[in-house]
Chains A and B, each alone.
Chain A
């Protein structure tokens, strides 16, 4: 399986008008092929900055990122975005002027990897897997928030990315929809395993989904703690109250609370 992501000494300095802002500082992180890495940290600590560098939307000031040995980003240079690493954005990026089916099928067609017929067929199969086969010809605006998130994850997976980059994908959802979405995500990843880089604010979500949970410090972001979650997969929501889950949560929540408090006192805001 492909998709081993390696981040070495990543540093990012924004040249703001008043002062230089260090968003990331000496981040070393290895994510094995097929591993689910959940990143938790206070608002504005630089999680999205790192994700943008992996995706090719932004550059690093120092350090290297490689995917299966190939360079994605080095100092002030990055490989342009492509289908090897697909982002599911915080606020959603389905094209509202195209149908759900078009949104899902467009990637492989644009990359000339599949014909329109094949792409549509595959898109329908994936949509059926998340229970949205009847919504294929609707516009994204006609769907609920949870349905749109499902479409967006399916749109990412149909491109067979080596890495799936999820930037707080469930942030805007209510707690019930969120737990359903988590189960859909687990099911989809069992069907098509992927390396996942998952950003979240929610520690429970991180432990529930992750093979590994990484806690970022407040800005400049450094890795404060990295824990391998040894709860066997597939996980179901019952484990949220299991002793091992609570033990891990207790182990991590102290560090997170401390970082959140530090970010709060200096009044951190989202950067980009």
Chain B
């Protein structure tokens, strides 16, 4: 998945492809969208139920049952000790959320600053960009041993690995975003008497924001990916750690619960990033609305 994410970085829209999709989606009635989503989910759960619970077709019979997983998830007294009503569940959830939050915020801060610096200064770019391009393609799984060796503690190594995944994506997208800004805006700003700082604040940052947010969405997904990978290897708690532990002790229902929770966390965090982006870039919505 991390590999996919990288491919997407490089094909990030140069102008405003992403915005067009949202503008289009705006005119579809919400209820219809919800209904279509429910139908899709329903088919998935029905297939699960039929293939695993009812008929146990082929190797599907090894998998956790839908009914028992749901029952376990909602039970006040779960067989394997993890459900919506246990402190154990929230301990792992909180551990993972905390790590992603710290890693993501740090990656965004460092990545956007470095990206702007790379785009702004030719000398800096010439010196740093080759290094970045060498480090970026190394899959996050390959970083794990090095980072564990380097980290003071295991939880710290998980955070650092999660940070790395988001950092490269944010840096590259920010740099591309700044470099995609039309030269004419810089010329106009210079004529109008903007200082360097004003150009940074009023031209560079808002101009690069569409690209930056495309990067942030991908970075958020990459964060969850590398969080789970590194929790499995180096974790002592967390959703990814628990998925692997449950598999190890053949507590398949717990495994399903943790996977579903990861899915939900990923979905909600991406939505949060998208919402913030939309709020910060209302000018694009207006522009696209005006044209269509």
Contacts and interface: CB of A to CB of B under 8 A. Distances in A.
B190 A93 contact: no
A98 B190 contact: no
A110 B194 contact: yes
B286 A97 contact: no
Contacts of B189: 95
B287 to A, nearest CB: 3
Contact of A97 (B187, B194, B209): B209
23 contacts: A81-B187, A82-B193, A86-B191, A87-B187, A91-B184, A93-B182, A95-B188, A95-B189, A95-B202, A95-B203, A96-B287, A97-B283, A98-B202, A98-B283, A107-B193, A139-B286, A141-B286, A141-B291, A142-B286, A142-B287, A142-B290, A155-B192, A159-B193
A87 B195 contact: no
Contact of A139 (B182, B195, B202, B287): B287
B281 interface: yes
A264 interface: no
Interface of B is mostly: helix
Contact of A106 (B192, B282, B284): B192
Contacts of B290: 141-143
B64 interface: no
Interface string A110-145: 110000000000000000000000000011111100
A187 B22 CA distance: 41
A110 B188 contact: no
A86 B192 contact: yes
Contacts of A91: 184
Contacts of A89: 184, 187-188
B185 interface: yes
Given A95-B188, A110-B192, 9 more contacts: A81-B190, A83-B191, A85-B191, A86-B192, A89-B188, A95-B189, A95-B203, A97-B206, A97-B209
Contacts of B202: 95, 98, 106
A159 B192 contact: yes
Interface string A55-81: 111000000000000000000000011
A141 B192 contact: no
Contact of A95 (B185, B190, B291): B185
Given A97-B209, A110-B195, A141-B291, A87 B188 contact: yes
A13 B221 CA distance: 51
Contacts of A155: 192
Contact of A141 (B188, B206, B207, B283): B283
B198 to A, nearest CB: 6
Give the residue among B191, B203, B288 with the most A Cβ atoms within 10 A: B191
Interface in B129-188: 182, 184-185, 187-188
A120 B29 CA distance: 40
A120 to B, nearest CB: 15
A195 to B, nearest CB: 16
A56 B202 CA distance: 21
User: Which of A89, A93, A143 counts the most chain B CB atoms within 10 A?
Assistant: A93
Say what secondary structure dominates the interface of chain A. loop
A57 B187 contact: yes
Given A57-B187, A142-B290, A96 B194 contact: no
B188 A93 contact: yes
A58 to B, nearest CB: 10
Contacts of A111: 192-193
Nearest to A52: B187
B187, B203, B284, B289 pick with most chain A CB within 10 angstroms: B187
A83 B193 contact: yes
Contacts of B195: 110
Interface in B186-234: 187-195, 198, 202-203, 206-207, 209
Contacts of B281: 97
Nearest to B191: A81
A203 B212 CA distance: 45
A272 to B, nearest CB: 10
B192 A107 contact: yes
B283 A93 contact: no
B211 to A, nearest CB: 13
List the 3 shortest-distance A-B pairs measured between CB atoms, nearest first: A141-B287, A111-B193, A97-B206
Contacts of B194: 106, 110
A91 B185 CA distance: 11
Nearest to B195: A110
A91 B183 CA distance: 12
